[in-house]
């Protein structure tokens, strides 16, 4: 990455630059990575919307049902947000890509929102083509499948561009994220039998992390 590209982060371009970077990466354009900063402040800015949503929905969850299981759901959602960052940082260290990780995770957290936009577009097209299909189980399966597949591709692509990985390394990173999230789901299920925190708390975050539902 050139020095010029590195300086074109969110601190220089503002939210308009971040949005442009999101749209570029979401369309498979590698130059989009240059619109994201590689500082701790950039990472915190990218994390802030997720934490704000987590705090609001966590408060509503506990307020609606002040029980121990509500606390499990809230903690599950927080782990869902942070676990991929922990996994990818460890892999970046292993592959000697630590210097690129801050920019990568910033881009990842911002571009995750593109998956929701894609889902909305697909839902709109389905509604225009066949409202019954959108309301059916098959329609839900199609919508979730498209979102999940796109999320996997976007996770792979941003990792490959942001950390300068080979294709196979990016695949390993995606599998590591999915494996860690699967383990989190398993542990949550064991700690609260009969409950499915991932269904009941925050579906958008699950889609963004490629966990599906």
Six token digits for residue 55 = 């705090």
Query: Taking 90 as the threshold, does the pLDDT of residue 8 lie above it?
Result: no
Helix axes 40-64, 10-26, angle to 10 degrees: 70
Average pLDDT over residues 133-149: 90
pLDDT, tens digit, 9 for 90 and up, residues 89-137? 999 999 999 999 999 999 999 999 999 999 999 999 988 988 888 888 8
CA Rg value for the chain: 18
Q: Say how far apart CA 152 and CA 93 lie, in whole Å.
A: 22
Reference 83, options 171, 184, 170; nearest CA is: 184
> Would you state the pLDDT for residue 48?
96
> Would you state the pLDDT for residue 191?
63
> Would you state the pLDDT for residue 202?
43
Pairwise pLDDT comparison (116 vs 74), residue with the higher score: 116
Cβ atoms 52, 20 nearer than 8 A: no
pLDDT, tens digit, 9 for 90 and up, residues 154-210? 999 999 999 999 999 999 999 999 999 989 888 777 765 555 544 444 444 444 444
Highest mean pLDDT among 9-18, 20-29, 140-149: 20-29
Residue keyed to tokens 């499990």: 72
> Would you state the pLDDT for residue 211?
38
Q: Say how far apart CA 147 and CA 144 lie, in whole Å.
A: 5
* CB neighbourhood size of 200 (10 A): 14
How long, in residues, is the chain?
Answer: 213
Reduced DSSP (H G I as helix, E B as strand, rest coil) percent helix, strand, coil of the chain, to 5: 85, 0, 15
Query: Taking 50 as the threshold, does the pLDDT of residue 146 lie above it?
Result: yes
> Would you state the pLDDT for residue 76?
84
> Would you state the pLDDT for residue 74?
83
Spell out where the chain has E strands: none
> Would you state the pLDDT for residue 87?
97
Average pLDDT over residues 4-24: 69
Task: Note the helical H segments in the chain.
Answer: 3-7, 10-26, 40-64, 68-94, 98-129, 131-135, 137-162, 167-191, 197-200, 203-208
Q: Say how far apart CA 28 and CA 152 lie, in whole Å.
A: 13
Longest dimension (CA), the chain: 53
Six token digits for residue 165 = 């990985």
Reference 155, options 209, 102, 101; nearest CA is: 209
Pairwise pLDDT comparison (200 vs 87), residue with the higher score: 87
pTM value is: 0.81
Average pLDDT over residues 16-41: 96
CA angle 194, 82, 51 (to 5 degrees): 90
pLDDT, tens digit, 9 for 90 and up, residues 46-67? 999 999 999 888 888 777 777 7
């Amino acid at each position: 990455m050139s020095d010029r590209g590195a300086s074109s982060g969110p601190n220089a371009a503002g939210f308009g630059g971040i949005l442009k970077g999101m749209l570029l990466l979401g369309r498979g354009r590698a130059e989009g990575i240059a619109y994201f900063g590689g500082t701790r402040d950039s990472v915190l800015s990218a994390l802030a919307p997720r934490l704000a949503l987590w705090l609001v929905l966590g408060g509503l969850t506990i307020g609606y049902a002040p029980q121990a299981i509500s606390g499990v759901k809230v903690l599950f959602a927080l782990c869902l947000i942070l676990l991929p960052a922990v996994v990818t940082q460890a892999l970046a260290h292993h592959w000697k890509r630590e210097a690129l990780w801050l920019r990568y995770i910033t881009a990842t957290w911002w571009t995750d929102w593109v998956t929701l936009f894609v889902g909305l577009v697909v839902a709109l097209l389905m509604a225009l083509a066949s409202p019954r299909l959108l309301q059916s189980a098959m329609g839900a399966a199609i919508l979730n499948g498209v979102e999940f597949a796109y999320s996997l591709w976007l996770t792979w692509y941003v990792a490959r561009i942001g950390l300068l990985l080979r294709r196979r390394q990016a695949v390993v990173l995606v599998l590591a994220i999915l494996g860690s999230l699967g383990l989190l789901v398993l542990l949550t299920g064991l700690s609260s039998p009969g409950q499915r925190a991932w269904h009941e708390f925050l579906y958008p975050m699950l889609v963004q992390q490629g966990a599906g539902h």
